[in-house]
Amino acid sequence: MSSSELAFIDRLRLLATDPAARGLEDDVAVIGELVLTHDMIAEGVHFLPTDPPASVGWKLVAVNLSDLAGKGAEPVAALMGVTLGGDSEWDEKFLSGVAAACETYGLALVGGDTIALPPGAPRVLSLTAVGRGGATIPSRSGGSAGDALWVVGTLGDASLGLEVLQSDGAAEGPLVEAYRRPVPQLAAGGLIAPHATAMMDLSDGLLLDANRLCSASKCGASIDLNALPISRAYIAERGTGRRARLAAATGGDDYALLAALPNDFNPLSLSLPERTILARIGTLTDGEGLKLIDAAGEVPLPEQLGYEHRA
């Protein structure tokens, strides 16, 4: 986040004093069994002007559902905000993508708002998703030294897919699909959340989000780059070297899950959905900050841990 965004959030904390807000240190608010999240996506920031509008609609829903997945919550309903720029064909295709995602994940669209923008203005789209949590709704702040760190899903595909599209706007394939049509890990999140001491989705890059979890939990973490789950498509494009793994750990837009679990609990024992990718990547430690290692030893932290918005 930029310094201005951080300052704005600090001011918001003076208003968001209800316990439901979780001190604005989490991805969601919790009111009883209800889990609420709100995300926006903006043209030129979260999606390309040339992206198919149906994929933009899908992505708007999916990124919000990923926040629910990070708390083990079941989707219930959503409110949507849409800016209209006078292109009715784009709007119709966008809504078809929203409808496909809502149908796929059992999410009821129950309302929202629209405003008209001047022609050519960048589109800004938003969704508030409501889910129903289980008996335990993990926050970012419950982890402690000795907990194991696990990732559900793969890392790096979406950020590499964006690079591919920026070089060739007509590109296709699994990396492009990962960027345009993320898949929220709802089923796996629901099974893992009851056992997690801390849990969140990964949207801004593994290292940046892991650092946020550690900060909230007041601990550090040791992360093994060689243990990161990366796909065959990513390896075919980038390889498996240190530079490639650091790029996967910092790229963002993964919408995987990061969970801190008791060291003696093995989530592979759960009845996870077929083809779920699950990898232990490290351990929470005493102290603060991140330590990276690979087969050659300790790895210097990159200057940029992930994607941060710039004002």
Residue pair 174/192 in contact (Cβ under 8 Å)? The answer is: no
Between residues 23 and 77, the one the model is more confident about: 77
> Would 211 be classed as within a structural domain?
yes
Residue pair 72/189 in contact (Cβ under 8 Å)? The answer is: yes
Query: Is the domain of 200 the same as that of 295?
Result: yes
Domain count, the chain: 2
Distance CA 24, CA 45 (A): 23
Query: Is the domain of 169 the same as that of 47?
Result: no
Three-state DSSP class for 148?
Answer: strand
Three-state DSSP class for 296?
Answer: coil
> Would 138 be classed as within a structural domain?
no
Residue pair 2/308 in contact (Cβ under 8 Å)? The answer is: yes
Residue pair 184/191 in contact (Cβ under 8 Å)? The answer is: no
Domain with residue 171: its CATH number is 3.90.650.10
Residue linked to tokens 């590499």? 160
pTM: 0.93
> Would 304 be classed as within a structural domain?
no
Among 64, 91, 86, 80, residue whose Cα is nearest residue 114: 80
Distance CA 270, CA 236 (A): 31
Residue 95, pLDDT above cutoff 90: yes
Question: Which domain range does residue 109 map to?
Answer: 3-132
Q: What is the pLDDT of residues 147-185, one digit of tens each?
A: 999 999 999 999 999 999 999 999 999 999 999 999 999
Query: Is the domain of 163 the same as that of 254?
Result: yes
Domain with residue 12: its CATH number is 3.30.1330.10
Q: What is the pLDDT of residues 4-62, one digit of tens each?
A: 666 887 887 878 778 887 877 888 999 999 999 999 999 988 999 999 999 999 999 99
Helices (H), the chain: 3-13, 53-69, 88-105, 157-167, 174-180, 186-192, 206-217, 232-238, 242-250
| Residues listed for the chain | 311
> Would 308 be classed as within a structural domain?
no
Q: What is the pLDDT of residues 210-268, one digit of tens each?
A: 999 999 999 999 999 999 999 999 999 999 999 999 999 999 999 999 999 999 999 99
> Would 311 be classed as within a structural domain?
no
Average pLDDT over residues 282-298: 96
Query: Is the domain of 191 the same as that of 295?
Result: yes
Residue linked to tokens 């075919």? 236
